[in-house]
Amino acid sequence: MARGRFISLEGGEGVGKSTQLRALAAALRARGHDVIETREPGGSAGAEAIRSLLLDGDAGRWTPAAEALLFAAARADHVAKTILPALEAGQWVLSDRFLDSSLAYQGGADGIGEAVIRQLHQVGSNGFLPDRTLLLALPEAEAAGRAAARDRGAADRFGARDAAYHARVAAAFAQLAAGDPARFRIVDSSGSAEDVTARLLAAIDDL
């Protein structure tokens, strides 16, 4: 059986990743593909347990370094237990966030550095990368507005970050995309959800 494809959706909070992951999965299923939807942190039993450690509790619960290690450990479990077996079974895997979130948030915005995050990913997941990474781009004010309407004040450990932090994340994502144009596509996430889904489908057409 042909190996499936691994596609990650990336971008800041509120750009529409979860919404588009569902829509993209439905569109691919309609074309006859066997698709699984997953997310990070999480996506396997072990990684979901680590997700609770990462998202619950005080903002200062972990140092940036400990946090980077926890994300890498969760990803190692997710890759080994969920993603690779699915790809080998011929399924397409869509993930809401993957390595590039660690590169942008921990590596870029938190100052750990891209090289260290890539080393952790080498150790944890053998450097495994998506076939395509779709970076959803939306002006920060619009993304913040969408996220606030969705969350209505219910924030996780990461909810209190300021605009400067989100700007560092966005800049890091843009730089990652520029550095690997074969893997990345930057997709305009403004307008209706249906329009965005059409753009995303066009951005994986070659797969």
Asked if the peptide bond before residue 41 counts as cis, ω within 30 degrees of 0, the response is: yes
DSSP 36: E
DSSP secondary structure, 63-90, as one string: -HHHHHHHHHHHHHHHIIIIIHHHHHTT
The site map against ligand TYD for 24-63 (x = CB under 6 A) is ----------------xx----------------------
150 is a contact residue toward ligand ADP (CB under 6 A) = yes
Query: 10 Å Cβ neighbour count for 145?
Result: 13
Please check whether residue 130 is in contact with residue 8, taking contact to mean a CB–CB distance below 8 angstroms: yes
User: 123-162: which residues touch ligand TYD (CB under 6 A)?
Assistant: 147, 158
77 is a contact residue toward ligand TYD (CB under 6 A) = no
Q: Which residues contact 125 (CB under 8 A, 6 or more apart)?
A: 72, 75, 76, 79, 80, 99
Cβ closest to ligand ADP, residue 112 vs residue 200: 200
Interface residue with ligand TYD among 82, 91, 101, 197 (CB under 6 A) is 101
Interface residue with ligand ADP among 4, 5, 8, 13 (CB under 6 A) is 13
Cβ closest to ligand TYD, residue 18 vs residue 190: 18
Q: Which residues contact 135 (CB under 8 A, 6 or more apart)?
A: 10, 11, 100, 173, 174, 176, 177, 184, 185, 186, 187
Cβ closest to ligand TYD, residue 33 vs residue 140: 140
Take residue 47 and report the two structure tokens written for it: 């990684």
Q: Which amino acid is at 127?
A: G
Cβ closest to ligand TYD, residue 5 vs residue 17: 17
| Site residues (vs ligand ADP, CB under 6 A) | 11, 13-19, 146-147, 149-150, 192-193, 196
Contact residues toward ligand TYD (CB under 6 A) are 13, 17-18, 40-41, 71, 96-97, 101-102, 105-106, 147, 158
User: Which residue numbers belong to the known binding site for ATP?
Assistant: 11-18
